[in-house]
């Protein structure tokens, strides 16, 4: 008896919250879940276009040394997958490039570095570069010669870290 009363109370609560009859609940929940999916897709698209715009600005203001672009700067925060997509886009658009982007994520610094294949052959290494840059923000990281990631705790030093990334890239490309 107590179980039936409990279930009745839960059902009553749900029908009040969803403003529908008990038999309409499953359909109402399905439509809300569908709406959530659509909103999440819109958010992802919005975030991606914000990131794309920021990445394009970095590319437009990139320095060039010995025919290679040095694309370094701060980006708005985004999911790792979308940040990597922007890095890939920048590498493709620039052709020959060193890319280092940084962003604030939940009070911490995230860094992503990429080096195009032609520059890896000349001795540049994204993993080593991002590792050096991460030290500035009190962190560490590394990765492959073409793509690497790092993080740090000192958000206030992100600008300084990115400046050092630019200097290191210029130095390595100038050899």
The predicted structure's pLDDT at residue 64: 92
The predicted structure's pLDDT at residue 110: 95
Q: What is the mean pLDDT of the chain?
A: 91
Residue 112 is assigned to a structural domain of this protein: yes
Number of domains, the chain: 1
Residue 33 is assigned to a structural domain of this protein: no
For residue 140, the enclosing domain spans 63-173
Looking at 13-17, 20-24, 46-50, 86-90, which range is the least confident one? 46-50
- The model's pTM is 0.76
Residue 2 is assigned to a structural domain of this protein: no
Q: SS3 string of the chain? A: CHHHHHHHHHHHHHHHHHCCCHHHHHHHHHHHHHHHHHHHHHHHHHHHHHHHHHHHHHHHCCEEECCEEEEEEECCCCCHHHHHHHHHHHHHHHCCEEEEEEEEECCEEEEEEEECHHHHCCCCCHHHHHHHHHHHCCCEEEECCCEEEEEECCHHHHHHHHHHHHHHHHHHHCC
Residue 134 is assigned to a structural domain of this protein: yes
Chain segment 112-165, per-residue pLDDT in tens:
999 999 999 999 999 999 999 999 999 999 899 999 999 999 999 999 999 999
The predicted structure's pLDDT at residue 4: 87
Residue 47 is assigned to a structural domain of this protein: no
Mean pLDDT, to the nearest integer, of 82-94? 93
Residue 23 is assigned to a structural domain of this protein: no
Which one is predicted more confidently, 87 or 106? 87
pLDDT bracket for residue 106 (50, 70, 90): confident
CATH number of the domain at 101, please: 3.10.310.40
Residue 4 is assigned to a structural domain of this protein: no
In angstroms, how far is CA 131 from the centroid of its own chain? Answer: 18
Chain segment 26-56, per-residue pLDDT in tens:
998 998 899 888 888 877 777 777 888 899 9
Residue 79 is assigned to a structural domain of this protein: yes
Q: Residue 119 phi/psi, 5° resolution?
A: -80, -30
């Amino acid at each position: 008896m107590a179980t039936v009363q409990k279930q009745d109370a839960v059902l009553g609560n749900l029908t009040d919250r969803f403003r529908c009859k008990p038999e309409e609940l499953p359909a109402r929940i399905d439509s809300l879940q569908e709406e959530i999916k659509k909103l999440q897709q819109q958010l992802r698209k919005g975030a991606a276009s914000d990131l794309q715009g920021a990445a394009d600005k970095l590319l437009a203001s990139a320095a060039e040394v010995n025919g290679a672009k040095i694309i370094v700067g701060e980006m708005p925060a985004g999911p790792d997958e979308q940040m990597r997509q922007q890095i890939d886009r920048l590498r493709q658009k620039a052709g020959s490039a060193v890319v280092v982007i940084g962003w604030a994520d939940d009070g911490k610094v995230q860094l992503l570095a990429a080096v195009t294949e032609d520059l890896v052959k000349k001795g540049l290494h994204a993993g080593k570069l991002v590792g050096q840059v991460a030290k500035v923000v009190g962190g560490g990281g590394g990765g492959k010669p073409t793509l690497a990631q790092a993080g740090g705790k000192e958000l206030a030093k992100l600008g300084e870290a990115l400046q050092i990334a630019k200097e290191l890239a210029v130095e390595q490309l100038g050899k």
